[in-house]
Amino acid sequence: MTTTTTRDETRAAAADKGAAMLMHRCGVLAQCTEKQGEILRTFLSPAMDEVHRTMRGWMEAAGIAVAVDRAGNLRGVYPADSGGEARRLVIGSHLDTVPNAGAYDGVLGVLIGLAFVEASAERKDPFAIEVIGFSDEEGTRFGAPFLGSRAVVGELAGDLLECVDGNGVSVAAAITNHATQRPETIEAVLSDRCAAYLEFHIEQGPVLESRDLALGIVEGLAGQSRCKVEFRGHAGHAGTTPMKLRKDALAGAAEWMTRVEAIAMRFGNAVATVGRIDAEPGGVNVIPGNVRCSLDVRHAEDPVRAALVRAAFDEARGVAAKRGLQVGTAQYHERPAVRLDVDLVSLAERAAERAGYATIRMTSGAGHDAMVIAPHVPSAMVFLRNPGGISHHPEENVAERDVAAAIHMGLCFLDEFAGHLAQKETGKLV
């Protein structure tokens, strides 16, 4: 038996063991929630503190030095074989959730980083591994996503800090309160020794399942626009106001929503979603006089996305004019489309091939912390098959065998990355 064969068998066995443990741990963390009967964890919440305490025990047992930064990100560093100020591979994802979430979105990617350390305790890597559990990716508490990852790259500033939650608490106040109560917190900055970022995540869609593939290599992430559209009419009695004399803001909003759907279908591979509607005054026998709608637009090409947003806003103004309504439009969040690092994407493909898994290259329609980190640090991302394509839902799932595939592929990635880093450090092309 060759040394290579022995090493491959050892990796596969370690991956199987790590996958079983990871699935168990996802179940444990699913119990850390703000709301009984469902999974809910928001930025700087007590439920997030509980996750940190639980994960700290697992990470410290694996020889990882653990800290929490001022923005509530869980940070764990496993030293290089040489110790000291070695270059660093960051492996991360997020620990927060949407309301009524599944057990794997985000958390799985953080636990995979831990699994790599546990499965490679005998390795002699020339680089350190930092595992980061970002405190906010979903934006559930403040309506603005990526607060944790934006903090570590220096983008958590300005208007973002003034966003308020349902209780009127601002992002800035929440962070100050969190740090004041925990004087041991470290600064929320990415180490200048960080050489690369790697994120694993369930696909949150059906493509890999349709291709019967365990893993996909992400080469880019679609840009996002989040907008507000408000229709203003006149409230009135539902029984005494004739149909022709009404200025029904909700009827106008409904007409606009169907138009948005049609507009999005004209822009190839674009998606547009109205996910939230707030109608006032909200009585069953009162004509709605004011309606606020959200609008989420995504596309892999920024000019296309911008054109779709403009078309949706123009349509809102047209509907309002026809119905005698007033309308206001605003875009409050934008993330440009991101292309991931060409060398690392190829490295991830080679690692999957070494582990024995066929892959495809993919573009992510969902937003991930990788799109915040990638403009600052060479980054790569790997998707795991998501049975049924169900995510952001209690029925969200992932197969243990696919988790084992990801861990096995990741251990091969560590081997490939050592050579990649050595070549980069000596100024050679990969």
Domains of the chain: 3-222+337-425 (3.40.630.10), 223-335 (3.30.70.360)
- The single-letter DSSP state of residue 69 is B
Mean pLDDT (whole number) for 368-394: 96
pLDDT at position 9 is: 73
pLDDT class of 7 with cuts at 50, 70, 90: low
Going from the C-alpha of 97 to that of each of 20, 33, 228, the distances in angstroms are 23, 9, 22
pLDDT at position 388 is: 94
pLDDT in tens, 88-113: 999 999 999 999 999 999 999 999 99
Q: Could you count the other beta carbons within 10 Å of the beta carbon of residue 8?
A: 17
pLDDT at position 430 is: 41
pLDDT in tens, 130-169: 999 999 999 999 988 999 999 999 999 998 999 999 999 9
- The single-letter DSSP state of residue 269 is T
Mean pLDDT over all residues of the chain? 94
User: What would the DSSP string read from start to end of 182-233?
Assistant: -TTPBP----TTEEEEEEEEE-SSSHHHHTT-SEEEEEEE-EEEEEEEEEE-
Q: Write out the two tokens for 66.
A: 């653990």
Give backbone dihedrals phi and psi of 230, rounded to 5 degrees, phi first.
Answer: -125, 125
What is the chain's length?
430
Q: Could you count the other beta carbons within 10 Å of the beta carbon of residue 390?
A: 16
pLDDT at position 429 is: 45
pLDDT at position 258 is: 97
- The single-letter DSSP state of residue 101 is B
Q: Is 116 helix (H, G, I), strand (E, B) or coil?
A: helix
pLDDT in tens, 52-69: 999 999 999 999 999 999
pLDDT at position 260 is: 97
User: What would the DSSP string read from start to end of 37-65?
Assistant: TSB---TT-HHHHHHHHHHHHHHHHTT-E
pLDDT in tens, 258-315: 999 999 999 988 999 999 999 999 999 999 999 999 999 999 999 999 999 999 999 9
| Closest residue by Cα to residue 209 from 366, 362, 91, 94 | 362
pLDDT at position 10 is: 77
Q: Write out the two tokens for 405.
A: 């595939």
pLDDT at position 31 is: 97
Alpha-carbon span 427 to 421, nearest angstrom: 10
Q: Write out the two tokens for 182.
A: 């925990």
Alpha-carbon span 250 to 87, nearest angstrom: 56
Alpha helices in 324-387 (DSSP H): 342-355, 370-373
Cβ density class 61-77: b for 16+ within 10 Å, e for less: ebebebebbbbbbbbbb
Q: Write out the two tokens for 321.
A: 């004019």
Going by their DSSP bridges, the two strands 379-384 and 194-202 should be labelled as parallel
The reply to whether omega before 375 is within 30° of 0 (cis) is no
pLDDT class of 6 with cuts at 50, 70, 90: low
pLDDT at position 67 is: 98
pLDDT class of 1 with cuts at 50, 70, 90: very low
pLDDT class of 11 with cuts at 50, 70, 90: confident
pLDDT class of 333 with cuts at 50, 70, 90: confident
